[in-house]
Amino acid sequence: MLYPTPIAKLIDSFSKLPGIGIKTATRLAFYTIGMSDDDVNEFAKNLLAAKRELSYCSICGNLTDEDPCAICSDETRDRTTILIVEDSRDVSAMENIQEYRGLYHVLHGLISPMNGVGPDDINLKSLLSRLMEHSEIAEVIVATNATADGEATSMYISRVLKPAGIKVTRLARGLAVGSDIEYADEVTLLRAIENRTEL
């Protein structure tokens, strides 16, 4: 079935989103056309604004609309602890439980020997320079997911940091193997951080 160009293009755009096949993309495109002008304008505006106004914090790598991000600039946070996560969604999950008061470092990926992703391919160098510049940092909590790549990343970080005299801990195994921190419930996450173990 050949659609008029504007809707064919819209279908094409939707189909570029993860998990959206051509059938769903077609359904979304037709749905969008049926929406009110106001809603479509708002949608388009939000897409552009999110892309234009967001960037990554130059200190911790978290997604932010100001640099440094709100967490890095918050003087009331505990500056002796850094919690390392894979991406910004994990920061949100941690912040939601309102228990952790330290700082973060977002890796934007994990070391993955199977996929040829090494330490230089993720946001790790800036962590090392952070640690060198800030001697007040006493503990690094590795909160990568309990997957093979999460473990490889955690082991690498511990191997590099421990000789430098920094305490490296790992979230407790309350989290099921292969489970995502992003989707962990609050109680599980709270227990995982309270019962963290030294590497």
Q: Which residues of the chain form contacts with Zn ion (CB under 5 A)?
A: 57, 59-60, 62, 68-69, 72
C-alpha Rg value of the chain to the nearest Å: 20
Closest approach of Zn ion to the CB of residue 51, in Å = 20
Peptide bond into 68 cis (omega under 30): yes
Whichever of 131 and 155 has its CB closer to Zn ion, that residue is 131
**Contact call for residues 170 and 196 (beta carbons, < 8 A):** yes
Whichever of 32 and 123 has its CB closer to Zn ion, that residue is 123
Sign of the four-CA dihedral 36, 40, 46, 52? negative
Closest approach of Zn ion to the CB of residue 91, in Å = 9
State how far the Cα of 127 lies from the Cα of 137, in Å rounded to an integer: 11
Closest approach of Zn ion to the CB of residue 46, in Å = 23
154-160 own/partner pairs: CB under 8 Å, 24+ apart: 154/199, 155/199, 156/111, 156/119, 157/84, 157/124, 157/127, 158/199, 160/128
Whichever of 10 and 91 has its CB closer to Zn ion, that residue is 91
Closest approach of Zn ion to the CB of residue 127, in Å = 12
